[in-house]
Amino acid sequence: MPEICVAKDADKGRQVLRSAWAAIALLMIAASTSGQEATSEWQAEVRRYAEIKDWAAAMRIVDREISRYPADTDVRAWRARILVWSDRLPEAEGEYLAILKVSQRDPDTWMGLASVYLRQNRVREALAALDKAQALDPSRADVHAARGRALRVAGEVREARLEFHKALTLDATSSEAKDGLKSVRSEPKHELRFGQENDAFNFASANHYGWMSLSSTWSPSWSTSVSGGAYRRGGADAGKFVVSITGRSRKLGALNVGGAAGSDSAIIPGREAFFDLDRSWKAGEDNWMRAVEFTYGQHWYWYRSARILTLNGSTEVYFPREWTLSLSVSGVRNAFSGTGVEWRPSGLTRLGFPLVTWTEKRLGGNVFFGTGTEDYARVDQIGTFASQTYGGGLRFNLTSRQDMTGYASYQKRTQNRTDTGFGFSYGFHF
């Protein structure tokens, strides 16, 4: 009997022990689930505030979590992301570097640091950070896609294309890789464009001008342009042929040199020569002014009875979201047979802006105003001061390789004369 009692007591003890362990396990699962729910709740809050760009509220939540878990690098990574989203890039860089001092084994941290470098236009440092991420996990498609984007910014198109292909091999559904491949397709080297322009006067019959041009980029350093046009003015016909060549240097900018000749019929120049110097600077994608471009040029026109020299200077500023503003001034030297030399000034300002975008299709517009504007390539405007010119235009990109442009203008000249101009062109890139 005693032995039977001992056995029963042992069984009861084992049952109690099993029940205790089960209770502990349930408590641990409940605690873990509660922690996960709490974690997902504050992250969801951060995302909600990020969607409405309330960065201060998002940062308060993250700082609260950091005060509770100061050693949690995942929470610190969230803080770095918010700093990036709110364009506080130097602080974001410092946050990522602080995380890397604790641990360098997380590819996401290196990718986050690379995104900061890339937005600051520090491409080489971004690539070095992405190399670290790729070494830690070479099977991640998003790492290869990110590296492809950095290589594309660096101008290494072939290497960028390979990275996007690797990303698609690892993840056939990656939209980043698909969009990346589209962005690094072989750029067209040639543009064939056709155009037609018209001027309706209140003092003479209308004038018409039709033209065709072919521009070719043979290398990053050299490009050429050839064009031909036909004029119909006051019952007379004329035509000319224009050719130019452009050399580019990253340090010195671009130099364009060219000339023109043709059958003038005493209504257009018989010969022309010109050159333009172009220099631009990039300020970075995150600046309110992304780039600025300066151009200076001289153009000589030889008519049968006059010689014209124009000195042209212009500045174009590029803003975010494809907004542009350009200012141009010209000084013109007229020299007629049997008369003295005379200088005339003129100026033009133009504002460009986007209108609508549908995937590859884009519609943009511009408005412009000129004062003292003359067209020295046409004999009826030589020495004729045009007091004011108002106008605007549209550019419609049908695809990445086709576009159409159109414009209209109203010019009020001296002696109550007016010129209403309009025209269009079609360009094909191949």
Please compute, for residue 387, the number of CA atoms within 13 A of its CA located in the half-sphere on the CB side.
7
More confident residue, 279 or 283: 279
Name the packing angle between helices 55-68 and 2-51 (round to 10°): 150
The pLDDT value given to residue 287: 79
pLDDT > 50? residue 6 = no
Closest listed residue to residue 216, CA positions, set 253, 246, 248, 191? 191
More confident residue, 350 or 47: 350
The whole-angstrom separation of Cα 216 and Cα 191 is: 7
The pLDDT value given to residue 26: 42
The pLDDT value given to residue 339: 63
117 phi and psi angles, rounded to 5 deg: -60, -40
The pLDDT value given to residue 381: 66
pLDDT > 60? residue 95 = yes
User: 285 falls in which pLDDT band (50, 70, 90)?
Assistant: low
Q: What is the mean pLDDT of residues 311-318?
A: 96
The pLDDT value given to residue 251: 86
The whole-angstrom separation of Cα 242 and Cα 244 is: 7
Please compute, for residue 139, the number of CA atoms within 13 A of its CA located in the half-sphere on the CB side.
0
Q: What percent of the chain has pLDDT over 70?
A: 86
The pLDDT value given to residue 37: 43
User: Mean pLDDT over all residues of the chain?
Assistant: 87
Q: What is the mean pLDDT of residues 272-297?
A: 90
Contact between 99 and 108 (Cβ < 8 Å): no
pLDDT > 60? residue 73 = yes
What residue spans of 52-140 are helical by DSSP H? 55-68, 73-85, 89-102, 107-119, 123-136
The whole-angstrom separation of Cα 62 and Cα 50 is: 12
pLDDT by residue (tens digit) across 16-65?
A: 555 544 444 444 444 444 444 445 788 888 888 888 889 899 899 988 98
The whole-angstrom separation of Cα 380 and Cα 34 is: 84
**Could you tell me which residues are beta bridge partners of residue 361?**
358
pLDDT by residue (tens digit) across 161-176?
A: 999 999 999 999 998 8
Domain residues of the chain, as ranges? Answer: 27-183, 193-429
pLDDT > 90? residue 143 = yes
pLDDT by residue (tens digit) across 147-164?
A: 999 999 988 988 999 999
User: Is 3.40.50.300 the CATH classification of the domain at 27-183?
Assistant: no
Residue 2 host element (H or E): helix 2-51
The whole-angstrom separation of Cα 158 and Cα 165 is: 11
Domains 27-183 and 193-429 share a fold: no
User: 275 falls in which pLDDT band (50, 70, 90)?
Assistant: very high
**DSSP helix, strand, coil percent of the chain (3-state; round to 5):** 40, 40, 20
228 CB-contact burial (10 Å; exposed 0-12 / middle 13-18 / buried 19+): middle
pLDDT by residue (tens digit) across 380-391?
A: 666 666 679 999
Q: What is the mean pLDDT of residues 275-283?
A: 93
pLDDT by residue (tens digit) across 112-140?
A: 999 999 999 899 999 999 999 999 999 99
pLDDT > 90? residue 414 = no
pLDDT by residue (tens digit) across 220-265?
A: 899 999 999 999 988 899 999 999 999 999 888 999 999 999 999 9
Q: What is the full DSSP assignment across 106-128? A: -HHHHHHHHHHHHHTT-HHHHHH
Contact between 255 and 240 (Cβ < 8 Å): no
Lowest-confidence segment of 81-90, 254-263, 268-277 by average pLDDT: 81-90
The whole-angstrom separation of Cα 346 and Cα 374 is: 8
CATH for 193-429 is 2.40.160.40
The whole-angstrom separation of Cα 64 and Cα 173 is: 37
User: 357 falls in which pLDDT band (50, 70, 90)?
Assistant: confident
Categorise residue 256: left if φ over 0, alpha if ψ from -120 to 50, beta otherwise.
Answer: beta
Residue 14 host element (H or E): helix 2-51
How many of the other CB atoms lie within 10 Å of CB of 93?
Answer: 20
The whole-angstrom separation of Cα 73 and Cα 377 is: 68
Contact between 207 and 186 (Cβ < 8 Å): no
**pTM metric for this prediction:** 0.62
The pLDDT value given to residue 385: 61
pLDDT by residue (tens digit) across 177-213?
A: 888 888 887 778 999 999 999 999 998 899 999 999 9
